[in-house]
Amino acid sequence: MLQFKPSYCRNLLCEMECHEHAWPFLLPVNTKQFPQYKKVIKSPMDLSTIKRKLHENSYKCKEEFASDVRLMFSNCEVFNEDDSPVGRAGHHMRGYFEQRWPQLT
Ligand SMILES: Cc1ncccc1N[C@H]1CCCS(=O)(=O)C1
């Protein structure tokens, strides 16, 4: 098994953080602003949490990193209408991630 190189994931995370449509995902969803969120979404995930986990070596392989990114987008689809600003941003960002992910050698 190839040794896990966090640098690839860190670079892709950085690209996502500065993406035009990243704004809904930069920080954990504010459950005071969205009181329903905690009830509906059992495993919240956001880019700052992924960044912290990478920094703390919580990911043992790149697939664990990818599964948190995909969790973040699935949460977004559950809570937001497709035809909403956050919903649309989620579809843009998921498309970007899935297109870049296979290029991660
Ligand atoms: C990803 C997500 N899912 C559900 C609700 C909200 C969010 N994101 C929020 C993040 C802070 C800015 S906002 O409040 O406009 C949107």
* 104 alpha carbon – ligand 1 mean position (Å): 28
The tokens for 87 are 């919903």
Do 16 and 96 form a contact (C-beta atoms < 8 A)?
yes
Burial of 25: CB neighbours in 10 Å, binned 0-12, 13-18, 19+: buried
pLDDT string in tens for the chain (105-residue length): 567 878 999 999 999 999 999 999 999 999 999 999 999 999 999 999 999 999 999 999 999 999 999 999 999 999 999 999 999 999 999 999 999 999 876
Ligand 1 test: best mutation among 17, 19, 34, 40, most atoms within 8 Å of CB? 34
Q: Can you tell me which atom of ligand 1 is nearest the CA of 75? A: 3
d(CA 64, CA 70): 10
- What ipTM describes this predicted complex? 0.93
Tell me how far CA of residue 29 lies from CA of 35, 68, 80, 92, in angstroms. Answer: 10, 15, 12, 18
